[in-house]
Amino acid sequence: MSIMYLLEAFQTIFSDLSSLMFILIGVVAGIMVGCLPGLTATMGCALLIPFTFSLPPVQGLLMLMGIFTGAIYGGSIAAILIRTPGTPAAAATLLDGFPLSKRGEAGKAIGIATIASFVGGTIGALIMSFMAPQIAQFGLRFGPPEFFALAVFGLSMIISISGESLLKGVIAALVGLLITTIGFDPLSGVPRFAFGNDNLLGGITFIPALIGLFGFAQVFRNIEKMGIVPQVRSKVSRILPSFKEVKTLLPTMFKSGGIGSVTGSVPGLGCDIAAFIAYGEAKRTSKKPETFGQGALEGIAAPEAANNGATGGAMIPMLTLGVPGDAVTAVLLGALTIHGFQPGPLLFRDHPEIVYPIFAGMILCQLVLLGVGLAGARLFAKLINIDIKVLTSIIFLLCIVGSYSMRFSFFDVGLALGIGVVAYFMSYAKFPVSPILLALILGPMAEQNMRRAMMLSNDDLSIFVTRPISATFLFLAVLMAGLSYMKYKKLREIERKVAETTAQDAVAK
Amino acid sequence: MKKFLVALATVFTLSGAAHAAFPEKDLTLIVPWSAGGGTDTIARALVKNAKKYIGVNVNVVNKTGGQGVVGMGAIKLARPDGYTVGLITFGLSTYKLMGLSDMTFRDFELLQLLNQSAAALSVKADSEWSSLEDLVQYAKANPGKVTLGHTGAGVAWHLSAAALGLAHGVEFNFIPFDGGAPTRSALLGGHIDLAATGIDEVKQLNDAEQIKILAVNADERHPSFPDVPTFTEAGYGLDAPILDWRGLALPKNVPADRVAVLEEGFKKMFEDPDFRQYCEEVGLMLVYEDSEGFEEFLTNMENVLAPTLEATGLLR
């Protein structure tokens, strides 16, 4: 990849301001789509494709990439403000974003999410521009055993997101894993636990589960508190994070952006898994891991940098191999084909006129995102100052529309409501819900690839430890689980001692 | 008063006559697969110029889940006023046989066949096998050694490969993947020896010489792949090829005059030059059959599929 080509592409884009306008439209539309729970980046792009038919291919693609970038970022706004991830990729962001928002610092949280998305997205775009072929080859080394090992590694993040009780976190994750076994088994073609209901044949779909676990549950909690607990007001005076805060977060953003880009580039992983891996990694290496889940700024920076890094990453296998990195790039692949370009190894040779503007456009998307995001942060943060009765009604409505619109199915609305009721009572019993979500993302990946690997090896378990990538991830998973468990024990020990001393002090007094 | 009533009656009759014109509002096309996928893209390309041919727009609605069962069930149960059209796909030939649902093509008013896709067996470009003959010889000498990745149990490509194995006594180690893209990347990454996919799904990789297509399971060579022999030409023919298909259908009991309007309108969309060009670019073979021909094709397909499904243990 020559830098000259890239500069030339920038020149082409800047020479015609309408291209920039399409990026802007895309990013703004993407943020709106991302904000609304249930409308995902995939849907946003798929719905817009017909509009791009009439545009020149480059401009159509720039707009679609703008939507992709904007939506993955926009998901964080809903996660921070209303504890409902707007897209699955923002599921890790709410862990620390919402506590900050509850303290009245929603503006700061959104500001950090914006800057992290920009940094991560730019890293992803640069890696895509300069290292696409090499990264694509690395992604291909992931076969069934590697995917299984990676899923296990991902599941070890349960420790990071369990909150107070590890045991309850593990129980929640196991419930999630059980839920993923519902529906048509893609390997054998046999329906499982569907009870003859066609709607369950496809399993519990992800979006209704997400909306139930977070959106509806939050609505119920709000109703409970209405009129009793005073509403949190956003501090509007200092809306953006200080330069110093951003500076201390930069290493986290860079690292997470890198993690995100590489994770995204492995076909089949995508933004949501990237975000969780980066969150776990940030917590593991943090000097103050105990602040995670209470509103740690790193806890927002890491997943947001990673999920936007993954957007660039996911484009890599799509462009170089014709194999989409995730669901959104699968739609973009369709868009390229409609415009007469066949993504794949020949695209770089035959159509540099489309490849380099894509690279340049991806970088520009990040800049536009930064501008729009920072300008909008103040406005977004004020949204939670809406009267809680009105706000809760709006969230309720959005949850219904969101769970319906994924498959145009009322069954899914009922499902989301049911899951919401369960999640509401779970929070009473202090069960964390995020491990359920993690299990829903990783469960099918772990199960299917475990079975595929066993088929490949004729039931020889050693396939998981004789392949280097697989062995590494499994080792890391065991290591992380072990270390974190020890740390967790120690922490509990200290807490107990403190409790004892306080109790003794009380008796002494 | 009487005059007024007569006037009123006239107005009603007139507006009644106007209502008889069909269609007077946009149509809905239910696609049982997700937005952005292969079937969805074809559907959207097909109805892109709908207004020109049928006077109204056709909106694509994706009702997904359960390997297409949910969406096709929705088509079957849609109001039979002609405003809901559905895209039906290969799964409908297997649901009842595999025990997934009782639905068959007999529950629909068939409109037309859109396309047929043939299965291709591909290997990585650096594979030691360069013909179906090489592969079969090796696989016979090493039963169960050759790993064959496919896009899902009961999908046409899986069944095609299984039929080949059954007919010629070859034992493959079948590895199901979740769709075409993961199967392709597993082949490129060397995780499987052989991939069974639709021939159009491997077009770019074949053009880029990253893979070799050994043979295609069809009666005739594919026009976009003139160098790829059929199973029969390669020496390993089957009685009848298993073909993937897509077509258009309505719920039962749509008034006959409306069915006729839709048949004509969709046929014109199908013949639209933009649509044709798109399909040619992606290597998709368009095959038209009217409702009668479509029904005959589907009846035959069930007869071909039953023995293969039984032998692969998928028959319920």
On whether any CB of chain B is under 8 Å from the CB of A55, the answer is no
**Which of A385-394, B93-102, B114-123, B149-158 ranks highest by mean pLDDT?**
B114-123
Taking CA–CA distances from B188, the nearest residue in chain A reads A140
Instruction: Please state, rounded to an integer, the average pLDDT across all residues of chain A.
Output: 86
Chain A positions in Cβ-Cβ contact with residue B64 (cut-off 8 Å): 202, 407
Q: What is the mean pLDDT of residues B93-111?
A: 91
For residue B10, pLDDT over 60 is answered with: no
Which of A135, A185, A190 to substitute to test the interface with B, most B CBs within 10 Å? A190
A179-201 pLDDT, tens per residue? 999 987 878 777 888 887 878 87
Would you state the pLDDT for residue A114?
94
On whether any CB of chain B is under 8 Å from the CB of A67, the answer is no
Would you state the pLDDT for residue B39?
87
Q: A430 lies in which domain range?
A: 2-508
Would you state the pLDDT for residue A171?
93
> Cα(A361)–Cα(A365) distance, rounded to whole angstroms?
6
Q: What is the mean pLDDT of residues A458-462?
A: 90
For the ranges A486-495, B114-123, B150-159, which has the lowest average pLDDT? A486-495
Would you state the pLDDT for residue B15?
45
For residue B229, pLDDT over 50 is answered with: yes
On whether any CB of chain B is under 8 Å from the CB of A191, the answer is yes
Cβ distance A252 to A115 under 8 Å? no
On whether any CB of chain B is under 8 Å from the CB of A457, the answer is no
A328-373 pLDDT, tens per residue? 888 888 788 777 787 877 788 788 888 888 999 999 999 999 999 9
Distance from CA of B33 to the nearest CA of A (A): 10
Say yes or no for a CB contact (<8 Å) between B98 and A189.
yes
Taking CA–CA distances from A330, the nearest residue in chain B reads B36
Burial class (CB in 10 A: 0-12, 13-18, 19+), A291: middle
For residue A2, pLDDT over 80 is answered with: no
For residue A303, pLDDT over 90 is answered with: yes
Nearest one of B282, B120, B199 to A343, comparing CA atoms: B282
For residue B2, pLDDT over 70 is answered with: no
A387-441 pLDDT, tens per residue? 888 888 988 988 898 888 777 788 999 999 999 999 999 988 989 888 998 898 8
Tell me, rounded to whole angstroms, the distance of Cα A204 from its chain centroid. Answer: 19
With tokens 């594979």, the residue in question is B127
A39-56 pLDDT, tens per residue? 788 878 877 777 777 788
Domains, chain B, ordered by start? 25-117+243-311 (3.40.190.150), 133-217 (3.40.190.10)
Chain A positions in Cβ-Cβ contact with residue B314 (cut-off 8 Å): 189
Taking CA–CA distances from B277, the nearest residue in chain A reads A340
Tell me, rounded to whole angstroms, the distance of Cα A165 from its chain centroid. Answer: 24
B249: left (phi over 0), alpha (psi -120 to 50) or beta: beta
Residue B150 forms beta bridges with which residues? B176, B196
Say yes or no for a CB contact (<8 Å) between B36 and A46.
yes
The total domain count for chain A is 1
Would you state the pLDDT for residue B18?
44
Residue A325 sits at φ, ψ, to 5 deg, of -75, -30
Which of B93, B177, B204 to substitute to test the interface with A, most A CBs within 10 Å? B204
Name the band, by pLDDT with cuts 50, 70 and 90, for residue A314.
very high
B25 three-state secondary structure:
coil
Distance from CA of A199 to the nearest CA of B (A): 6
Would you state the pLDDT for residue A492?
76
B277-294 pLDDT, tens per residue? 888 877 888 999 999 999
**Predicted ipTM > 0.90:** no
Chain B positions in Cβ-Cβ contact with residue A351 (cut-off 8 Å): none
For residue A91, pLDDT over 50 is answered with: yes
Q: What is the mean pLDDT of residues B177-192?
A: 88
Percent of chain B with pLDDT over 90: 59
Instruction: Please state, rounded to an integer, the average pLDDT across all residues of chain B.
Output: 88
Nearest one of B223, B176, B182, B178 to B199, comparing CA atoms: B223
Residue A138 sits at φ, ψ, to 5 deg, of -65, -45
For residue B5, pLDDT over 60 is answered with: no
Which of B191, B277, B309 to substitute to test the interface with A, most A CBs within 10 Å? B191
A210-260 pLDDT, tens per residue? 889 988 998 998 898 887 777 766 665 566 788 888 899 999 999 999 999
Chain B positions in Cβ-Cβ contact with residue A331 (cut-off 8 Å): 35-36
Chain B positions in Cβ-Cβ contact with residue A49 (cut-off 8 Å): 36, 44
Per DSSP, helices labelled H in A226-270 are 243-265
If you write DSSP's letter for every residue of B179-240 in order, what string do you get?
SHHHHHHHHHTTSSSEEEEEGGGGHHHHHTTSEEEEEEESSS--TT-TTSPBTTTTT---SS
Name the band, by pLDDT with cuts 50, 70 and 90, for residue B226.
very high
Q: Which of the two residues, A121 and A383, has the higher pLDDT score?
A: A121
> Cα(A166)–Cα(B302) distance, rounded to whole angstroms?
53
